[in-house]
A and B are shown apart, each in its own frame.
Chain A
Amino acid sequence: MSEFFHALASQDFLQTAFIGGLLASIACGVMGSYVVVKHMSFLAGGIAHAVLGGMGVAYFFGKSPISGAIAAALVAAWVIGWVSLRWRQTADTIIAALWSVGMAVGVIFISMTPGYNVDLMSYLFGNILMIPRTDLYIMASLDGLIMLTVLVFYQQFLAVCFDEEFARLRGLPVDFFYLLLLTLVALTVVVLIQVVGLILVIALLTLPAAIAAQYLRRLAPIMALATILGMFFTSGGLALSYTPDLPAGATIILVAGTVYLLSLLVTGLARRRRC
């Protein structure tokens, strides 16, 4: 572990990775809380996997994958949002279709790109150590955008998540806020993919908020605690993975998963004792 801190002090790429983890935690704590309380993890998973399509296309045309990811995430979020507002019953199937079709498009475009396809693995499982410094600025501005929007529309989002029908009856443009919420989830997914890749993104999005929701009963504190937990998981996972040279993204998820399981045990035991 001390080896990690030495390296952190001197190595540029490690600092970038560390900051990237912290930046990702902000988006993940705030939007992950919405995903957990509104039970949208399948939907977020659909967005995350569809993103590979956009990354593949961008990669093929020699553009930066993150721009392709942003475009694909937004399109996927709006399609999924629109479908689930119109046809609630079949939304499930359509999300699943988008999930795999997006990945299929991505794989095909990546395979058509000449050269050695080393990037596919890092899209799927992330490579926090390879984050370009410029991506940090994109991540930071996405964080800023997410936080500002949530700050402005906190009450509206709360109402839409809690009781959509009542919000509609009070004259709130529920469809608009629902799509806006999904848009923010999509941007969060893009930020998190830089860290853990699109396969593992759902775990990082939901686990910190799910742990926080076990102890807190208000949304804003859950967001704050989830952000702190996310920071702990990303930097802890990064540190743990350094010396044995494990994949950082997977280590981060294992740390998060372990803490979640322990937390489930603790709250379960506490509840049993109370009964």
Chain B
Amino acid sequence: MNPIVILKSVSFSYGGPTVLEDVDLAVEEGEFLGLVGPNGSGKSTLLKILLGLLEPSSGQAQVLGGTPAQARGSIGYVPQFAAFPHDFPISAGEVVLQGRLGNVRLFGGYRSEDREIARQALMETYVWDLKEQPIGSLSGGQLQRVLLARALATQPKLLILDEPTASIDPRAEEDIFDLLKKLKSRMTILVVSHDIGFISQYVTRIACLNRTLVCHTTSALTGEMIQQLYGSPVRMIRHTTR
């Protein structure tokens, strides 16, 4: 097996208290890893380190055999829902084309092969019909699939999603994860979520983060593990939507 992501005793602070402490994590090729943890547990910080947007204060981060910044080109990233203004005058198709940004020409915009790659990504996430729609008119679930298509258009080896279903309805959430399940055979996937119960049905492994890596498991989560993660007893409720 090939490790896609290796974190060796990674710590990070923004200058104040430690946000991440001594995190060791290896993600193998083909894994579908769920990264869970309460708010403020350092999940987003960890993602930013993997994307090379932040440097660890100590320790080492390796992605796809190089530094995160070197690996960027092969990482598909789906940001949190509210990363940009939703009234921005841009169509879904234009957003997905931005996945091909590295390749854009000076005059004349995107090449035809890039348009073809974007088309496939739009088809794969079932949003081809919406390509002319302004993003402001899309529902939460549709927008999330457009952002997934944009990430797929980068032809990633590693797909990273930050709370992809935080503000969409359960039905749309299931659609997104069914899509990810299909993509699993082609790429390594890392998804950040706070909804342990839901994602545990899909992922191959769960890593629980609360400043440091509390646990990781391939088996079902137990009540004790959740208690360990959140630091207090939590009632586990299984969400079933159908």
Binding site for B on A (CB under 8 A): 37, 39, 151-156, 158-159, 161-163, 165-172, 213, 216-219, 222
Contact = CB atoms under 8 A, between A and B. Distances in A.
Contacts of A168: 53
A87 B150 CA distance: 29
B84 A217 contact: no
B59 interface: no
B102 interface: yes
A170 B106 contact: no
Interface stretch (B29-37, B70-78, B163-171, B206-214): B70-78
Given A163-B98, A165-B79, A217-B137, 8 more contacts: A155-B101, A155-B110, A156-B101, A162-B88, A167-B101, A168-B53, A170-B99, A217-B91
Given A166-B79, A217-B136, A37 B104 contact: no
Closest 7 CB pairs of A and B: A217-B134, A170-B101, A163-B84, A171-B102, A155-B104, A152-B106, A170-B102
B121 to A, nearest CB: 14
Q: Which of B102, B110, B136 has most A Cβ within 10 Å?
A: B102
B117 to A, nearest CB: 13
Contact of B90 (A39, A171, A218): A218
Contacts of A158: 90, 94, 98
A158 to B, nearest CB: 7
B192 to A, nearest CB: 15
A168 B73 CA distance: 10
A216 B134 CA distance: 9
A161 B104 contact: no
B137 to A, nearest CB: 8
A169 B85 contact: no
A62 to B, nearest CB: 41
Given A151-B107, A165-B83, A166-B150, A217 B102 contact: no
Contacts, number: 76
Interface in B34-81: 51, 53, 72-73, 75, 77, 79
Nearest to A39: B85
B134 A218 contact: yes
A176 to B, nearest CB: 14
Contacts of B150: 166
A218 B137 CA distance: 12
A162 B84 contact: yes
Given A169-B51, A171-B101, A217-B134, A155 B85 contact: no
A151 B108 CA distance: 9
B95 interface: yes
B16 interface: no
Interface string B84-119: 110011110011011101101011011000000000
A170 B98 contact: yes
A13 B106 CA distance: 40
A219 B90 contact: yes
A183 B214 CA distance: 49
A168 B134 CA distance: 23
A75 B53 CA distance: 29
